[in-house]
Amino acid sequence: MTRALTRKGEATRARIVAGAAAEIRERGVDEVRLEDVMAHTGTSKGQLFHYFPGGKEDLLLAVAQHEADQVLTDQEPMLSNLTSWPAWLAWRDRLVERYLAQGVKCPLNGLLGQTGRRAPGAQAIVTGLMWRWQAAITEGIRHMQSTGDIGPDVDPERASAALLAGIQGGVLLLLSTGKIDHLEAALDLTIDSLRASALVTREQEGRDNE
Amino acid sequence: MTRALTRKGEATRARIVAGAAAEIRERGVDEVRLEDVMAHTGTSKGQLFHYFPGGKEDLLLAVAQHEADQVLTDQEPMLSNLTSWPAWLAWRDRLVERYLAQGVKCPLNGLLGQTGRRAPGAQAIVTGLMWRWQAAITEGIRHMQSTGDIGPDVDPERASAALLAGIQGGVLLLLSTGKIDHLEAALDLTIDSLRASALVTREQEGRDNE
DNA sequence: GGAAAAATGGACCGGCAAGTCCAAAGCCCG
DNA sequence: CGGGCTTTGGACTTGCCGGTCCATTTTTCC
């Protein structure tokens, strides 16, 4: 049922999504007019509604999915290999670098809370993104626990929840203040505290051996 | 220059701001029509433009200021008295309680990033809010340092930046997932790590005395 | 090579909501 | 009490923009 797209159609559809995404990053979700997308991608209104029968909302959904996936791929291969402290730091640096470059243009920014309530699908996409993101971090913490680099008292779910919150808040503060400091502080302090969890354990072990 | 408002005018203006704020909390910024505000506050279009010559944007600005102030007053008197660990916990509880109650309706949510770029004033209001918020936390940390409840190695600016990021991210994740867990985790783990900073210092002192 | 399906272009419609305007009413103060 | 201000009501204008529709061209596939 799904397919009736020729190769050309596929390409056009992809061009529209990419162009719309760029436009949204530039201007913001609710500033983008279908007309802008048409101009930016060299397409006509007929095409837009051909490929996205649900109109704007439909297109927005596709863009959101596209961008959500992008967020995670941008963190690879670091995010999936949080297996040593240098790897964690590399991941941290990638995040900072990425968001510094992105600056104030957050494509998914508009999809939260009420803004996203009108499009339940968009909400779901963001939720899914957060879920996958946190799962990857949890995985990393578990691995570090297995090697003794993170103390066994740390609750991986809770710790990853806190770390993800720090990241999201850091980005949000970057958006509103233009400063990267909050993101850096949140990452560094949270990661440091994970490292400390192992040290404390080791100290205790050391003491036990005395 | 500022005043040409009679008492009645003042009251009407306040009624409009309060009503618009309520409407925005309920429906979201970009879903609210001037007409809704009129209906909700029993006013006419003439009045709206009389009190807010700049139209919708002008009104939105007033509402934003109103809500930003509210965010901080809601945390008082705890926020200004972070002078003992019980006080910190009380503040933490207040935050959780407040955002749990607010749930998914964040009035300032829409003002960030691109959405707020069209209204530079709104951006400034949010930035100001964040700045004041962080300053209060910094103050609390400094005080705890002065009593030895937080280690001297902690950088108050950096720590408060991280904590604020955790809070913002926690609220954002509450908005998108409906779960309060992230906010709680961020608050608890960050505060715990502040407590730990004092313990480490004490341990070191203890060892120095050995 | 030709029919069916997909892709494209763009004119047109319709509704919605912000903002304008002015006339009428009410309030303040000498 | 009366003139000039503020306040109020609401009809009207206006532009915008999403969505519809159909005619034309291109592709696909037998």
Domain boundaries, chain B: 7-53, 64-209
- As to burial, measured by CB atoms within 10 angstroms (0-12 exposed, 13-18 middle, 19+ buried), residue A56 is middle
**Class at the top of the CATH hierarchy for domain B7-53:** mainly alpha
pLDDT greater than 60 at residue B200: yes
**pLDDT tens-digit profile of B123-172?**
899 999 999 999 999 999 999 999 999 999 999 999 999 999 999 999 99
Q: Are A140 and A82 in contact (CB under 8 A)?
A: yes
- Tell me the ipTM for this assembly: 0.91
Residues 88-117 of chain A sitting with CB below 7 angstroms of strand D: none
Reply yes or no on whether the pLDDT at B180 is more than 70: yes
Average pLDDT, chain A: 91
CATH number of the structural domain A64-209: 1.10.357
pLDDT at residue A123 above 60?
yes
- Residue A26's Cβ-count burial label (10 Å; 0-12, 13-18, 19+) is middle
Max Cα distance, chain B (Å): 79
B4: pLDDT strictly greater than 90:
no
Instruction: Find, in chain B, the residue whose alpha carbon is nearest to that of A109.
Output: B113
Same fold, A7-53 and A64-209: no
Output phi, psi for A116, to 5 deg: -85, -10
Give the residue from B105, B182, B197 with the most A CB atoms within 10 Å of its CB, the best one to mutate: B182
Amino acid at A192: D
Proportion of chain A above pLDDT 70, given as a percent: 90
Q: Which amino acid is at B69?
A: D
Q: Which residues, at least 6 apart from B74, have a Cβ–Cβ distance to it below 8 Å? A: B94, B98
Query: Given this model, what pLDDT does residue B103 score?
Result: 81
Helix count (H) and strand count (E) of chain A? 9, 0
Cβ contact, residue pair B170, A170, below 8 Å = no
Looking at residues B32-48, what average pLDDT do you find? 96
Q: What is the rounded CA–CA span in Å between residue A104 and residue A115?
A: 18
Helical H runs in B28-148?
A: 34-41, 45-51, 56-73, 85-102, 113-117, 120-146
Looking only at Cα atoms, what is the longest distance across chain A?
79
The residue whose two tokens read 């994970």 is A194
Confidence of residue B210 (pLDDT cuts 50, 70, 90): very low
A114 pLDDT band (50/70/90 cuts)? low
**Cβ(B61)–Cβ(B119) below 8 Å:** yes
Which of A30, A32, A106, A114 would best serve as a mutation to test chain B binding (most B beta carbons within 10 A)? A114
Which residues from chain B sit within 8 angstroms of residue A131, using beta carbons? 177
Structure-model confidence comparison of residues A198 and B75, the more confident one: B75
For the cut 70, the answer to whether the pLDDT of residue A118 exceeds it is no
Measure CA to C1' and name the residue nearest D21: A46
- The pLDDT mean for chain B works out to 90
How high is the pLDDT of residue B1? 40
Residue of higher predicted confidence among A71 and B28: A71
Within 7 A of a protein CB, which nucleotides of strand C? 5-12, 16-23, 27-28
d(CA A129, CA B1): 51
